[in-house]
């Protein structure tokens, strides 16, 4: 057992991060009390901690923030990314280097510590996050238990056994845990400075968004481009989706192993692809589109989590800086004839986008909505909308 106590600690630890290999990292507890078992990853973004922690794609994960000062801007009720904050879909744990700082932002309605408590997120501070990040880079994302007890009493042997016994994300379908319980219509449009969020009241197209763990920012952008957006649960059948007469179909981001979610999602996607309706996928939606087209996915060593990832778009020749959040990837070598690789990571060469030749069907691994992160890839939403409008303009549809 290796015990890693912060050199500046002046009191007994009130939180521990226990890795599956028996490593115990001690620190100060924040957020909710109790414990959670999950996979540990690191995120290199400098901003947007609330958006990161509420992204349903982080379900089943403990996020280590490499940026040392977290909490500066506080939290608010507007920046959560999960559709149902009451369900607390998102990361189950958080790891910080420094203690949470007091908020200093006009939009803040609460400090981060109280917000973490309300959402049930267990957090730890006062540890060497650079060392933990280096460990993840060397050995891969470990399974772990994060525990917070104000009295500093922990059953370390039980926590070690729990961390070692957790099966991990491979084979785990988490989309069912974070998806919407029923269909709903989304009308909110992107935030505007000093105006807040708007509302789409005059849509010119209808997009059905299959919710595997969708982010609000994605729905806002689609609505802001002129769409009525109907959000449907992950298990919705192709028959029910097509009965809604969509002009476009969106396959959302989400957590877990795409192969596991694909057990029920892939047959649905294959049926949807029998139509000529434009399809756009992001993150988990990208991976499952690849599976539906005959490709394969694989677990990554450490995954991609951050807002500074360079990706090249082969269709334009341009390099974009994008937001990433995924622990699985599409195996580009497995893509069949007729499916082309459109985007690639310049960090490790992994696949970041595909398209079906001659069809308005495409997807990307990264998060073009950002939130947080750069907006280099917003054009992908416009590409989706342009495909919808082109189909609407076809003579066979114009008279309907």
* 47 Cβ neighbours under 8 A, 6+ residues apart: 307, 372
SS3 28: strand
Q: Determine whether 283 is an active site residue.
A: yes
Burial 189-202 (b: 16+ CB within 10 A, else e): bbbeeeeeeeebee
Using CA atoms, how far apart are residues 372 and 291, in angstroms rounded to an integer?
A: 28
The active-site residue, picked from 26, 39, 81, 369, is 369
Helix (H, G, I), strand (E, B) or coil at 156: helix
Residues with Cβ within 8 Å of 299's Cβ and at least 6 positions away in sequence, in order, are 169, 170, 257, 327, 328
Neighbour tally for 77: CB within 10 Å: 10
Burial class of residue 12, CB neighbours in 10 A (0-12, 13-18, 19+):
exposed
Cα–Cα distances (Å) from 369 to 31, 207, 276, 298, 310, in that order, read: 28, 16, 25, 24, 15
The DSSP secondary structure of 307-372, one letter per residue, reads: EEEEEEETTTTEEEEEEEEEEEEEEGGGPPTTEEEEEEETTT--EEEEEETTSSEEEESSBTT-SS
| Of the candidates 300, 304, 309, 314, the residue with the CA atom closest to the CA atom of residue 355 | 314
**Candidate list 148, 286, 304, 367, residue with the active-site label:** 367
Q: Which distant-in-sequence residues (6+ apart) come within 8 Å of 10 by Cβ? A: none
- Integer Cα distance of 191 and 332 in angstroms: 36
Measure the CA–CA gap between 102 and 71, rounded to whole angstroms. Answer: 6
Q: Catalytic annotation on 352? A: no
Decide: 247 and 387 in contact? Cβ < 8 Å.
no
Identify the active-site residue in 26, 41, 283, 320. Answer: 283
Q: How far is residue 15's CA from residue 34's CA, in Å, rounded to a whole number?
A: 9
Q: Is 369 a catalytic residue?
A: yes
Rounded Cα distance, 400 and 395, in Å: 9
Active site residues: 283, 367, 369
């Amino acid at each position: 057992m290796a015990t890693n106590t912060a050199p500046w600690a002046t009191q007994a630890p009130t939180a521990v991060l226990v890795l599956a290999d028996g490593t115990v990292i001690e620190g100060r507890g924040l957020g909710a009390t109790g414990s959670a078992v999950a996979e540990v990853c690191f995120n290199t973004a400098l901003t947007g901690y609330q958006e990161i922690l509420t992204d349903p794609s982080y379900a089943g994960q403990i996020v280590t923030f490499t940026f040392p000062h977290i909490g500066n801007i506080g939290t608010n009720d507007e920046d959560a990314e999960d559709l149902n904050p009451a369900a607390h879909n998102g990361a189950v744990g958080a790891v910080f280097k420094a203690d949470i700082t007091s908020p200093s932002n006009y939009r803040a309605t609460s400090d981060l510590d109280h917000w973490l408590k309300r959402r049930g997120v267990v957090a730890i501070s006062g540890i060497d996050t650079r060392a933990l990040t280096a460990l993840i880079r060397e050995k891969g994302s470990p399974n772990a238990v994060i525990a917070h007890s104000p009295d500093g009493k922990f059953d370390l042997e039980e926590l070690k056994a729990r961390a070692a016994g957790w099966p991990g994300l491979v084979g785990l379908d988490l989309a069912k845990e974070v998806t919407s319980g029923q269909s709903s219509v989304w009308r909110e449009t992107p935030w505007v400075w000093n105006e807040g969020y708007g509302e789409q009241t005059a849509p010119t197209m209808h997009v059905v968004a299959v919710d595997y763990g969708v982010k609000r920012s994605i729905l806002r952008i689609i609505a802001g481009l002129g769409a009525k957006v109907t959000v449907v649960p992950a298990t919705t059948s192709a028959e029910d989706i097509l009965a809604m007469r969509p002009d476009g179909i969106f396959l959302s981001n989400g957590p877990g192993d795409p192969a596991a979610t694909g057990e029920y999602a892939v047959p649905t996607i294959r049926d949807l692809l029998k139509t000529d309706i434009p399809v756009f996928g992001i993150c988990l939606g990208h991976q499952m589109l690849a599976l539906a087209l005959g490709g394969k996915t694989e677990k990554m060593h450490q995954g991609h989590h951050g807002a500074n990832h360079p990706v090249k778009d082969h269709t334009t020749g341009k390099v974009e800086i994008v937001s990433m959040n995924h622990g699985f990837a599409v195996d580009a070598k497995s893509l069949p004839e007729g499916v082309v690789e459109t985007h690639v990571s310049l960090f490790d060469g992994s696949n970041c986008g595909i398209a079906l030749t001659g069809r308005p069907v495409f997807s990307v691994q990264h998060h073009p909505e950002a939130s947080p992160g750069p907006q280099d890839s917003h054009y992908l939403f416009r590409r989706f909308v342009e495909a919808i409008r082109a189909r609407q303009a076809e003579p066979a549809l114009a008279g309907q």
